[in-house]
Structure 1
Amino acid sequence: MTRPATAVGPTVRQRWRTGRWVVLALLVIVVIAAVGTVLTAPKPGAPMDPQSTSADGTRALVTLLRDQGVEVVEARSVADVERAARADTLIVFAETYRLTDEEQLRRLAGLPGDRLLVEPVSRAREALAPELRTDGVSSFVTRPDCDLPEANRAGDAELGLTESYRGASPDLPLTRCYDGALVRYTDAGRTITVVGASAFMTNDALLEQGNAALAMNLAGAAPRVIWFAPQQREGAAGDASLADLMPDQVGWIVLQLALAVALLAIWQGRRLGPLVAESLPVVIRASETVEGRGRLYRSRRARDRAADALRTGTLARLLPRLGLTATAQPEAVTQAVAARIGGDPGAVGHTLYGPAPATDAELVTIARQLDDIERQVAHS
């Protein structure tokens, strides 16, 4: 017996033919959205990293330079810089606090080509721009007020709180812009440019006023640029282990010390008798104490007390190195420090005995300058 035809079969097939295109379209949309998310997601990295799209990276600036036809070579090590260096190349040095080896700095100082130092630490500035000295802090100067074409074309720029520089010799033909935050001079046929701030080059601040124009004018001054912002410290000893770096006598010294400690422990143990269990008080780590005091200062906006604590601690460590007592007058301390590091007595006195900071940024600058002075005195 033949069953009568019904409309159920054709209706299901019709619905599938219609719905499969909807499902396929949804899948395509999901795939495109996933790929777009992966491609446009921020790429984290260290500050001034040319590959980083985070706020303090420089991916945007490097991309703009390449769009303008500038060849940008991203160097990850001192050896990369040495291989790529040429006379027609500008070398951009950033994150110089990771350059801790004097031999590396000497190698970099001997390379051909112009230099652009971005917020250099004292060690790097002394090696790569030896004719410059720090001249205090420039507070939020925006106008160039100089004859440098790159700065005049950019106009006003938001550099923020920045270091300022002067020439080590009054005879040095030095061009100073933004109240000394940007300086340039010529040495041995190469042009050396130093800028005391780096934030204006980052992805986050590139759109502020003339920041993008200034950054591109400085970093794009040559058709070929080597961008060197080391992301980690390079060891001076290469692949040598810690044991390889120790003198042969160290092993005997350690053995003698271990034997002396063992004999002392036996003697004290026999003298004091058996150990007695005793409940110890709560031990608070020094780092937690420092962090707690810092939070208290910040919650009460006690920048004056925080700056006074930093200056007092620095002076307590500096005075013995300078051969001075705790009763030494500020003028004597200032002159002794300035003579030791070859700095300006006015700038040194302002750092050690100046007024209390008005903002958190000024407090951070004072801390950095105090650390810089203490390091220079220790290594002088």
Structure 2
Amino acid sequence: MTHTATTPGGPETRPGSAGAVGAGSAAGSWLRRHRGRAAIGAAAAVGLAVVVSTQLAPKGDSLPLSVHNAGPDGARAVSEILARHGVAVNDVESFDDALAALSDRPDATLLLYDRSGFLDRSRLEELAASAGRLVLVTPRLGSLTALDTGISQAGVVPESTALLAPGCGLSGPAAAGTVSGTGGFLYDGGTVCYRPPGSAAGLLAGTDDGGLTVLGSTALLNNGGLDEHGHAALALRTLGSSEDLVWYLPGLGDAAATESTQTLDDLAPDWVAFLGPWLVFVAVLAIVWRGRRLGPLVFEPLPVVVKAVETAEGRARLYQDSHALDRARDNLRAGTLVRLAQALRLGSQATADDVVQAAARHLGRPATDINGLIQERPGTASRLVHWSQELDKLENEVRTR
């Protein structure tokens, strides 16, 4: 029989336990050495997971009053509340889909929010004839004129009026109570509710037969304002009167195209054909007249003081960059002759030979040596530097003797 050795008072040694401890300590040591990289990797993994989950999550849209928009200006909340109360909300994306949905549901209520005025008169009349009830949200003047229901625009709600009371006999507004009038539009005609003080127009207007209701504010239906005051109750009573609700937000694809597009020539009045060329002729004459008065460009020296050292260094750098050895030699030679003539008091009319002869007599040196030095033509930049140093030495000898 084989016995396992044990240490008195210590744990029993099991096969493989030492290897497990060694692997754990190695992993801990690696994490301690690379804790910075490990933290960056963990953060990157979390960020990647968030991005992937965001991309894979179901998305809505950002259209105002869209039933798929969960933002403050969307209408997902009111659509879900209507669904809980037994109203089937049918979201349609085009004019044809809206007609098809209304033909299958003749008693349905149609919510129409045509904020850009894409629908023309014929399409608006067709929708109104197909719907059991029509609810217009902030309609444009053209839409109201096309429907010819007696309701018209009447301005905006005054900024001083924050809350509006029903003030009418309709059961829906009376049950909902006060609503917010901030940023809303006023309408007149038919039965008017939510009138500001001293105004005959209101935030809500409807026809006497109840077939058309106009709401003057999107805040009565959107997610951001639905939980305020009586907005939710008013939305339920206005949109939930029938079991089916067709929700239609017209888009650019619903705009009716005309048979022939007018050009600029068609839109322009007749007198443009005569006035246009005349204006072009007058403009050309004005350009010629004013252009001749300007005259040529004139260079004007600016009152800027530049140190002589900066000028000399800048010119020397230009000579060096362009490898202008001859130009630099001529400037050095001319400067040396001028300074030697001043030191020997020869006057401004002295020639180069006069300066050479005077310097030779003053120094007691052969004139050929001095003339050879002054007339030398250095071929390299290094020789030019040495030659300039020899000229400077000659000037110092003339001044010191």
Q: Compute the TM-score of the two structures, normalised by the length of structure 1.
A: 0.52
Shift of 1:231: 3.4
What's the CA shift for 1:212?
1.9
Shift in Å, 1:83? 0.4
Q: Answer yes or no: is 1:196 the counterpart of 2:216.
A: yes
SS in 1 for 2:124: helix
1:276-306 CA-to-partner distances (Å, cap 9, x unmatched) read xxxxxxxxxxxxxxxxxxxxxxxxxxxxxxx
1:221 is the counterpart of 2:221: no
Deviations for 1:91-131, whole angstroms, at most 9, x for unmatched residues?
Answer: 00113433243332232232131011111001112233522
Cα distance change, pair 238–80 in 1 and its aligned pair in 2 (3 A) = farther
1:178 equivalent in structure 2: 194
Per the TM alignment, residue 165 of structure 1 is displaced from its structure 2 partner at its CA by 2.3
Alignment match, 2:62: 45
Cα distance in 2, alignment partners of residues 71 and 102 from structure 1: 28
Change (3 A) 1:88 1:232: same
Answer yes or no: is 1:63 the counterpart of 2:80: yes
Letter in 1 for 2:244: R
Q: Shift of residue 67 of structure 1?
A: 1.9
Please give the secondary structure, in 1, of the residue aligned with 2:164: coil
Written as runs of structure 1 = structure 2, the 5 A alignment for 1:24-39 is 37=54
Query: Is 2:148 aligned against 1:132?
Result: no
Aligned partner of 1:84 in structure 2 is: 101
Residue of structure 1 aligned with 2:226, choices 200, 206, 217: 206
Alignment of 1:1-380 (within 5 A): 7-11=17-21, 37=54, 43-86=60-103, 87-128=106-147, 130-136=149-155, 137=157, 139-167=161-189, 174-179=190-195, 180-187=202-209, 191-237=211-257
Gaps of 5+ in 2: 1-14, 27-42, 196-201, 267-401
CA distance, structure 2, for counterparts of residue 145 and residue 186 of structure 1: 16
Match of 1:52, SS state, is: coil
Q: Does structure 2 retain, via aligned residues, the 8 Å contact 1:96–1:124?
A: no
Q: Which runs of 4+ in 1 moved over 4 A?
A: 12-16, 28-42, 238-243
Where 2:142 maps in the other structure, the secondary structure is helix
Query: Matched residues in 1 for 2:117 and 2:22: separation?
Result: 69
Structure with more relative contact order (C-alpha pairs < 8 Å, separation 6 or more): 1
Structure 2: which amino acid aligns with 1:134?
Q
AA at the equivalent of 1:153: A
- Aligned AA (2:140): V
**Alpha-carbon distance in structure 1 between the residues aligned to 2:73 and 2:217:** 12
**Pair 1:6–1:178, CA change in 2 (3 A):** closer
State the SS of the aligned residue for 1:85.
Answer: helix
Change in Cα spacing, 1:46 to 1:210, as seen in structure 2 (3 Å) is same
Could you tell me how far apart the structure 1 residues matched to 2:123 and 2:22 are? 75
Aligned partners of 1:148, 1:118: CA distance in 2, in Å? 18
Q: C-alpha offsets along residues 5-25 of structure 1, whole Å, 9 cap, x if unaligned?
A: 785412256789xxxxxxxxx
Deviation string for 1:154-185 (max 9, x for gaps)? 11111323222222xxxxxx322101211222
Unmatched segments (≥5 aa) in structure 1? 17-25, 168-173, 248-380
Instruction: Decide whether aligned partners of structure 1 residues 100 and 84 sit closer, same or farther in structure 2, where only a CA change above 3 A counts.
Output: closer
Contact kept? 1:73, 1:225, Cα under 8 Å: yes
Number of residue pairs the alignment of both structures matches: 261
Report if the CA contact (8 A) 1:142-1:158 is conserved.
Answer: yes
Identity %: 27
Paired AA for residue 119 in structure 1: T
Look up the SS of the partner of 1:9 in the other structure: helix
The alpha-carbon deviation at position 194 of structure 1 amounts to: 0.8
Per-residue CA deviation, residues 171-218 of structure 1 (Å, 9 max, x unaligned), is: xxx32210121122245xx62111111122111122222222222221
**For the residues of structure 1 that align with 2:247 and 2:57, how far apart are their CA atoms?**
23
Report the CA distance between 1:42 and its aligned residue. Answer: 7.4
Give the Cα separation in 1 of the matches to 2:91 and 2:62.
14
Q: Kindly state the Cα deviation for residue 228 of structure 1 after the two structures are TM-superposed.
A: 0.8
What is the CA RMSD across the aligned residues, in angstroms?
A: 4.9
Shift in CA distance, 166/229, structure 1 to aligned 2, threshold 3 Å: same
* Pairwise CA distance, 1:241: 10
In terms of Rg, which structure is larger? 2
Distance 2:148 2:240 in 1: 20
Calculate the TM-score normalised by the size of structure 2.
0.49
Query: Structure 1 pair 41/122, CA: closer, same or farther in 2 (3 Å)?
Result: same
Residue 83 to residue 238, structure 1, CA distance change in 2 (3 Å): farther
